[in-house]
A = this chain, B = another copy of it.
Amino acid sequence: MGAFHEGHLSLMRTAKRENECVVVSLFVNPTQFGPKEDFTRYPRNLERDAEMASQAGVDVLFAPPVSEMYPRVAASIHVPEVTERWEGAVRPGHFDGVATIVCKLFNIVRPSVAYFGYKDLQQCLVIKRMVEDLNLPVELSFQETTREGDGLAMSSRNAYLSPEDREKAPEIHTQLEASCRSIRDGKPVDEALVDARRQLESSGFSVDYLELVSLHTMEPLTHYTEGSAIIVAARLGKTRLIDNVRL
Question: A residues within 8 Å of B by Cβ?
Answer: 72-81, 99-100, 103-104, 107-108, 110, 129-130, 133-137
Contact = CB atoms under 8 A, between A and B. Distances in A.
Nearest to A73: B80
Contact of A77 (B72, B76, B110): B76
10 contacts: A72-B133, A74-B133, A75-B99, A75-B129, A75-B134, A77-B134, A78-B78, A104-B134, A107-B135, A108-B135
A27 B104 CA distance: 26
Contacts of A77: 75-78, 134
A110 B134 CA distance: 12
Given A75-B134, A104-B134, A107-B137, 14 more contacts: A74-B133, A74-B134, A75-B79, A75-B130, A75-B133, A76-B77, A76-B78, A76-B80, A104-B133, A104-B135, A107-B134, A107-B136, A108-B135, A110-B137
Copies in the complex: 2
Query: Top 10 nearest A-B pairs by Cβ distance?
Result: A75-B133, A74-B133, A107-B135, A75-B79, A75-B130, A108-B135, A104-B135, A73-B80, A76-B78, A107-B136
A136 to B, nearest CB: 5
Contacts of A73: 80-81
Given A134-B107, A135-B104, A136-B107, A78 B75 contact: yes
A109 to B, nearest CB: 10
Nearest to A79: B75
B137 A103 contact: no
A185 to B, nearest CB: 35
A52 to B, nearest CB: 26
A137 B109 CA distance: 10
Nearest to A106: B135
A79 B104 CA distance: 14
A88 to B, nearest CB: 13
Contacts of A104: 133-135
